[in-house]
Amino acid sequence: MRFTLPAASAVLSAALLAACAPQPASPPPPPPAEQEVPQLPSSFLERLSADGLFAFGRASIDDFSPAGRQALDDLATRLSARQLEIVHVIGHSDRIGNDRANLRLSEQRADAVREYLIERGVPADAITAVGRGSVEPVVECDSLRGAALQDCLAPNRRVEVRVQFAD
């Protein structure tokens, strides 16, 4: 089939006009599904192994292990994300040694964690620190002695951080 110039021109014009004609509007996209915002707890308890933070029988920030520092850095980040009511740092020890030394060690550990959190931006007026010594064990290990006893009592050597958020 052969078109003449006027006929080809008319077909081309019609095609161009059809392409420029307003197209029916496509329907708007559906609204995004409502995402459920996870409910954050108003309080929580963070239990950190004292052996993971400090050398056995030690309480200095200089003794923090790399994993212990990372755990405290992560905790400080979470604490700075919301308005705090109170952060209560509680140091614990095992029963090895005398009660007075264990109480002092648990207090020093709690103070070290408190100071570390303050250095990372947690408000000082929101943090308390106390030592409980060996009075709140989580394991007993009555029949063991020596290194086996020390290993068994490791869960008692801990620092707990109890957090209450204001919001």
DSSP string for residues in 28-91: PPPPPPPPPPPPPPSEEEEEEEHHHHS-TT---GGG--HHHHHHHHHHHHHHHTS-EEEEEEEE
Determine the pLDDT at residue 89: 97
Determine the pLDDT at residue 145: 93
Does pTM top 0.75 for this prediction?
Answer: no
Please compute Rg for the chain using Cα positions: 33
Q: Provide the CA 57 distance to its chain's centre, in angstroms.
A: 27
Determine the pLDDT at residue 117: 95
DSSP state of 26: P
Determine the pLDDT at residue 33: 60
Place of tokens 């020390």: 150
Do 113 and 71 touch, CB atoms closer than 8 A?
A: no
Superfamily of domain 49-165: OmpA-like domain (3.30.1330.60)
Determine the pLDDT at residue 48: 87
Q: What whole-number distance in Å separates Cα of residue 24 and Cα of residue 130?
A: 72
pLDDT tens for the chain, 167 residues: list them: 555 555 545 554 555 455 555 556 666 666 666 555 455 568 888 888 887 888 788 888 787 788 888 999 999 999 888 888 899 999 999 999 999 999 999 999 999 999 999 999 999 999 999 999 999 999 999 999 999 999 999 999 999 999 998 86
Determine the pLDDT at residue 92: 95
